[in-house]
Chain A
Amino acid sequence: MSDTRTIRLTVNGETGSYTVPVRQNLVDFIRNDLGLTGSHVGCEHGVCGACSIEVDGDIVRGCLMFAVQADGAEITTIEGLAESDRGAALRSAFSARNALQCGYCTPGMLATALDYVEAGGAADRAAIRAHLSGNYCRCTGYQSIVDAVCDVIEGRVEA
């Protein structure tokens, strides 16, 4: 079996083909080969959520998917969200509430929170906490993140 394979995928609207080691995980490919360092690596085994990215509309753990598995996929990273309008209200709310301190978990946290908001989630604190419960945050204590999500759902924040 060859150690590398060529894949073609679209990341943040830009399509390209890349030769990747078959053992390389998706987040390492995005960070190291594409230079999109917004997605972070925290645990490398699917627990902390820092590497959460959007693949074909679903939130996935970039450390649990191989780059070769993303062949043909459409991917949006935190940088892609920032370039579009998506998530602008959440970013404003996170900033106003100081819903981040070191910012390392933030790209994954924001992706997970946006997933909840865009799916029409209610401003129900327990439900929001449950939805975020796969994402570590060691700094904030989570409350301000829940506040920020509620602010967006209840229309208290402008993008």
Chain B
Amino acid sequence: MSGPLTMFDTPRAYIGQPVPRADTKRLLQGRGKFIDDIQLPRMLHAAFVRSPVAHGTITGIDVEEARALPGVIAVYTGADIAPHVEPYVGVLSHLAGLRSAPQMPLAVDVTRWIGEPLVMIIAQSRAVAEDAAALVMVDIDPLDAVTDMETALDPATPVIHAEMDSNLAWERTVDVGDVDAAFARDDVTVVERRFRFGRHTGVTLETRGAVAAFDPSEDELTFWYSGQAPHMMQFIFAKHLGLPEENVRVVSQDVGGSFGIKIHTYGDEIATALAAKLLGRPVKFVADRMESFLSDIHARDHVVDGRIAVDADGRIAALAFDDITGIGPFSMYPRTSAIEANQVLNLTGAPYVMENYRANAKVVFQNKNLMCQYRAVGHPIAMAVADGLLEDAAHEIGMDVVEIRRRNLIPDDAYPTQSASGMKLDDLSHHKSLETLVDAMDYEARRAEHAKLREEGIYRGLGLISMVEVTNPSPMFYGIGGAPIASQDGATIRLDAGGGVHVSSSVTEQGQGTNAILAQIAADVFGVPIERVKVTTGDTRTTPYGGGTWASRGAGIGGEACLQAAQALRDQVLEVAAVILQSEPGKLDIKAGAVVDAEGGAERMRLSDLARTVYYRGNELPSDLKPELIATRHYRVTDFPFVFTNGAMAAEVEVDPETGFVQVLNFWAVEDCGRVINPVLVDEQVRGGVVQGIGGALYEECVYDAEGQLQNATMADYLVPMAFEMPDIVVKHVETPTKTSVLGAKGAGEAGTGGAPGAVMNAVNDALRPLGAAIHQMPMTPERVLRALGKV
């Protein structure tokens, strides 16, 4: 690399090293602190009566028997809580035309999906609350349910919200170049496919949950929750429960899986906080597994009609598609359910040089659970459509699927540039990543082996994906649209009297290792052993203001803020040290917990001695020296809407044509997330993401019937990847640091979940091709594979 030397041109003790996470010790000894572990004096428990029908008019609710049950403290219907909660609407102003209807924590008058909360019971135990819930009688006159998103806009389909003229929530079209002319050229081959992406959900092993406590003497709400965005929740409770924002404290401790499921605001959470406020007692709500399946946001649910035109040299002449996606009866608050379709329009084909691109997305209401952002928002659809069409086109023109990528991927020396959809791209490495992938998987040898195995009746296939990922979002993501979601984050670093360092950051920890990488950065940049760094995250009262963790922003944004703060603290300490040691700041350095000579490294004084002098014996310092041993810095991305990451992935599968079963034999992932702060953490996050992506490709689906009943709301019926079915996953890195920050880190959290589904679909189609079959529907269940083969 060229350019001036940076701090990363000298060896780092921690940044870039596989330092074990301090948090693992705690978690491995059963000392994690998850939501249901919280017990408060006089704490009550909430349970919800949820709608058993997908669409209906509520004609009566009888709660008398429930209220009379011993141990029941309060029973609230939608009408009971309506006077206490300001309704909320999930729209963003920058998504022009997006509409939704006002929502309340508990349905009032009309219920619109199976699982919508109708009545809240507060009792002395969850068991009693559930007993009481079973005694509530709700009368509902069923209305026709809108369940098929493909007919949701037909004139014959009922309109879910009476005040609207149709079930359309949002529509956007991107039209670049002259698409029709490109498809009409006589030197191009055109491939058309219809893709279907089933609904699936996060299945966080710890279900959503919250403990709310209200102190009427101070008008203060404290809300512990298993979630990703504490400051966003602080705003929401203040606004909708009518509290001063500073009187709301939101705390997020250990979070047992989140994946985007826990960045949203759910009615049951607002209702729990309200109950605590009305009763002046702590209230706990922890969803059971069925409630999670019914009410955690669902994801995907798209039908895409796509077309690609390639010339004889394999160059993409045009790409076009129409996407329809069903989001349930409301746009989720406050992030909105239109972001996924928006990302599909932004990202499809983004790795490739393209002049002609047209994409239309229709986002429609339906009577199913709400669909919204989940890990790798829109990415699996975008990648599977573009690379699915591209691989099929390669086969049509008799070109190898690696070769067609080499001819179309944006050159590594072309940056900065922009995608066909207008996304600003910089610091990407598609070609280097592809070649790293091809080497890692021994591509040619595997192709030859597959050809040989086919003669023995064994059907294996390889599928690749080249991808871009949205990471490090700027204020252009949510803030611009009026959402209370910070894109900037802050870190405060304090030198304590004992010589240890305390980091307080607004990004949050959900197991991905946020606390560990913040400690690595602080230790390296400031100059203390990592054991002397303590990290606090997830508390609106004690951390700087920020966005929390979503869209792969913890390392890139939170990490950069931490770096800047550590640098600032270092400067402050050296200023004091120079006075005490009668030297100059520039001649001193901090290493391993001591102030040392910059040249030669001789130790001059321990940090503990310096801190004790400042804190206890200020009389020894000159009066005009006003030492600060605490520094706060904030960071946001300014020049780009997002800092894109790129990667390349490949799957090897074997398809059994007799049973339709697909086994993933091998998986390779090459990821360029810029500066890797901790390779073990990144590798495991990529692997976990790949496995979630394989889940979406092969197993996971929320199956609804025509009446809107969820058919598989248990862990026994909803399949997720387990250890036995999963392959070992090879992870390789290409490191192209982003120039937008000193740290140079981008995100890696979306990678596997975004790319793996397309890679697996391409691999399955590669295996099926000799049999004259193809499948473009996820999950690729055995039955669907057999259908594709014409066997059922």
Do the two chains bind? yes
Query: When the two chains form the complex, which single residue of A104, A139, A142 contacts B34, counting CB atoms closer than 8 Å?
Result: A104
The distance in angstroms between the C-alpha atoms of A61 and B724, with both chains bound, is 19
A-B contact pairs, 17 of them (CB 8 A): A38-B31, A40-B205, A40-B256, A42-B206, A44-B289, A48-B205, A79-B29, A79-B30, A82-B29, A95-B24, A98-B513, A99-B684, A104-B32, A133-B724, A141-B690, A141-B691, A146-B728
- Whether B445 sits at the interface, judged by CB under 8 Å, is no
Interface residues of B in 710-750 (CB under 8 A from A): 714-716, 720, 722-724, 726, 728-729
- Report whether B715 and A136 are in contact in the complex, using a CB–CB cutoff of 8 Å: yes
Q: Which of A47, A99, A138, A144 contacts B204 (CB 8 A)?
A: A138
Also in contact, A105 and B205, with CB within 8 A (given A36-B30, A45-B716, A48-B715): yes
Whether B510 contacts A125 by the Cβ 8 Å rule is no
List B residues 246-262 near A (Cβ within 8 Å): 254-259
Indicate which residue in A31, A101, A107, A132 contacts B685 across the interface (CB closer than 8 Å): A101
Interface status of A100 (Cβ within 8 A of chain B) = yes
Q: Are A47 and B715 in contact (CB under 8 A)?
A: yes
Select from chain B the residue with minimum beta-carbon distance to A23: B127
- Is the CB of A68 closer than 8 A to any CB of chain B? no
- Chain A residues contacting B39 (CB-CB under 8 Å) are 32, 35
Tell me which of B32, B203, B256, B687 contacts A143 (CB under 8 A).
B687
Q: Mark A68-110, 1 if CB is under 8 A from B, else 0.
A: 0000000001110010000000010011111111111111001
Bound Cα distance from A17 to B513, whole angstroms: 41
Q: Which residue of A lies closest to B686 (CB)?
A: A141
Beyond the given A82-B29, A141-B752, A142-B722, please list 15 additional residue pairs across the A-B interface where CB-CB is below 8 A: A32-B39, A37-B30, A38-B29, A38-B31, A43-B714, A47-B716, A95-B25, A98-B513, A100-B24, A102-B510, A103-B511, A138-B257, A139-B257, A142-B723, A146-B728
Mark A107-140 against chain B: 1 for CB-CB distance below 8 A, else 0.
Answer: 1001000000000000001101110111111111
State A47–B691 Cα separation when bound (angstroms): 19
Q: Is B21 an interface residue (CB 8 A)?
A: yes
Q: In whole angstroms, how far apart are the Cα atoms of A91 and B259 in the complex? A: 25
B36: interface (CB < 8 Å): yes
CB proximity of A48 to chain B, nearest CB, Å:
6
Q: For the complex, is A41 an interface residue (Cβ under 8 Å from B)?
A: yes
**Could you tell me the distance in whole angstroms from the C-beta of B149 to the nearest C-beta in chain A?**
27
Pair B724/A130 contact, Cβ less than 8 Å: yes
Q: Is the CB of A102 within 8 A of B255?
A: yes
When distances are taken between beta carbons in the complex, the residues of chain A under 8 Å from B255 are 102
Q: Which residues of A contact B513 (CB under 8 A)?
A: 98, 101
Decide: A142 near B36, CB < 8 A? Known: A82-B29, A129-B726, A133-B723.
no
A37's nearest neighbour on chain B, judged by CB, is B37
On whether the beta carbons of B37 and A103 are closer than 8 Å, the reply is no
**Inter-chain contact B692/A77, CB cutoff 8 Å:** no
Complex: how many Å from CA A45 to CA B716? 8
CB–CB B205/A77 < 8 A: no
- B residues near A21, Cβ cutoff 8 Å: 127
In this assembly, does B102 line the interface, its C-beta being within 8 Å of a C-beta of chain A? no
Q: Are A141 and B687 in contact (CB under 8 A)?
A: yes
* A79 / chain B contacts, CB cutoff of 8 Å: 29-31
| Most A CB within 10 A of own CB, among B30, B512, B720, B728 | B30
Query: From A102, which residue of chain B is reached at the shortest CB distance?
Result: B511
Q: A52 on the interface (CB 8 Å rule)?
A: no
* Contact call A94/B720, Cβ cutoff below 8 A: no
**Given the complex of chains A and B, what is the CA–CA distance between A141 and B432 in angstroms?**
26
The majority secondary structure among interface residues of chain B is loop
> With an 8 A cutoff between CB atoms, is B28 at the interface?
yes
Judged by a CB distance under 8 angstroms, whether B449 is at the interface is: no
Is A102 in contact with B256, judged by CB distance below 8 angstroms? Answer: yes
Which residue of the partner chain B has the closest CB to A78? B30
Say if the beta carbon of B54 comes within 8 Å of chain A.
Answer: no
- Chain B window 286-310, contacts with chain A (Cβ cutoff 8 Å), 1 for yes, 0 for no: 0011000000000000000000000
Asked if B289 contacts A43 (CB within 8 A), the reply is yes
Q: In the complex, which residues of chain A have a beta carbon less than 8 angstroms from the beta carbon of B202?
A: 138
Contact (Cβ within 8 A) B728 A106 = no
Asked if A145 CB lies within 8 Å of chain B CBs, one says: yes
| B223-267 interface with A by 8 A CB criterion | 254-259
| Residue B680 lies at the interface, judged by CB distance under 8 Å to chain A | yes
Q: Which residues of B contact A77 (CB under 8 A)?
A: 30
Contact B723 A101 (CB under 8 A): no
The chain B residue sitting closest to A101, CB to CB, is B511
Nearest chain B CB to A94 CB, angstrom units = 6
- B177 contacts chain A at the CB level, 8 A cutoff: no
B688 CB-CB contact with A under 8 Å: yes
Chain A facing B: main interface SS: loop
Chain B: which residue is nearest A105 at the CB level? B205
For B752, the chain A residues whose CB sits under 8 A away are 141
B27 at the binding interface (Cβ < 8 Å): yes
CB distance from B488 to the nearest CB of A (A): 26
Q: For residue A96, which residues in chain B have a CB less than 8 angstroms away from its CB? A: 20
B37 partner residues in chain A, CB cutoff 8 A: 31, 37
Verify B36–A41 contact, CB threshold 8 A: yes
CA distance A32 to B715 in the complex (A): 24
Q: Does B317 contact A (CB under 8 A)?
A: no
Question: Using Cβ atoms and an 8 Å threshold, which residues of chain B touch A106?
Answer: 27-28, 32
- CB of B220 within 8 Å of the partner chain: no
Interchain CB contact under 8 A, B20 and A95 = yes
With the chains together, A125 CA to B729 CA distance in Å? 13
6 smallest A-B Cβ distances: which pairs?
A38-B30, A103-B27, A104-B256, A102-B511, A78-B30, A101-B511
**How far apart are A23's CB and chain B's nearest CB, in angstroms?**
7
Please give the distance in Å from A38's CB to the nearest CB on chain B.
2
Give the residues in chain B near A134, CB-CB below 8 Å.
Answer: 722
Q: A44 to B288, Cβ gap below 8 A?
A: yes
Query: Whole-angstrom distance between the alpha carbons of A42 and B692 in the complex?
Result: 18
Q: Which of B25, B207, B722, B728 contacts A133 (CB 8 A)?
A: B722
B117 CB, nearest partner CB in chain A, Å: 20
How far is A79 from B23 in the complex, measured between Cα atoms in Å?
Answer: 16
Nearest A residue to B726 via CB reads: A142
A95 touches B28 (CB 8 A): yes
Is B338 engaged at the interface, CB distance under 8 Å to the other chain?
Answer: no
A78, B27: Cα distance in complex, Å = 10
Contact between chains at A132 and B723 (CB < 8 Å): yes
Which residue from chain A places its CB closest to the CB of B512 in the assembled complex? A101
Smallest CB-CB separation from A134: which chain B residue? B722
CA distance A104 to B23 in the complex (A): 12
Q: Shortest CB–CB separation between residue A116 and chain B, in angstroms?
A: 11
Shortest A70–chain B CB gap in Å is 18
* In the complex, chain B residues whose CB is within 8 Å of the CB of A44: 288-289
Q: Is the CB of A143 within 8 A of B715?
A: no
Does B786 interact with chain A (Cβ within 8 Å)?
no
Q: Which residues of A contact B254 (CB under 8 A)?
A: 102-104
- A1-49 interface (Cβ within 8 A of B): 21, 23-24, 31-32, 35-45, 47-48
Contacting pair B32 A42 (CB below 8 A): no
**Which B9-45 residues sit within 8 Å CB-CB of chain A?**
20-21, 23-32, 34, 36-37, 39
Instruction: Note all chain B residues with C-beta closer than 8 A to A38.
Output: 29-32
Whether the pair B205, A138 counts as a contact (CB closer than 8 A) is: yes
Please give, as numbers and ranges, the residues of chain B lying within 8 Å of A104 by CB-CB distance. 32, 34, 205-206, 254, 256-257
- The digit string for B49-91, where 1 denotes a CB below 8 A from any CB of A, is 0000000000000000000000000000000000000000000
The answer to the question of B182 belonging to the interface, with a C-beta cut-off of 8 Å to chain A, is no
A145 to B692, CA, bound (A): 16
Which A residues from 45 to 64 make CB contacts under 8 A with B? 45, 47-48, 50
Chain A residues closer than 8 Å to B29, beta-carbon distance: 38, 78-79, 82, 91
- Given the interface pairs A45-B715, A98-B513, A101-B688, the reply to whether A136 lies near B28 with Cβ below 8 Å is no
Interface: B483 (CB within 8 A): no
Assembly CA distance A64 to B691 (angstroms): 28
In the assembled complex, the CB of B297 is this many whole angstroms from the nearest CB of chain A, namely 15
Q: Which of A21, A36, A143 has the most CB of B within 10 A?
A: A143
Inter-chain contacts of B26 with A (CB < 8 A): 103
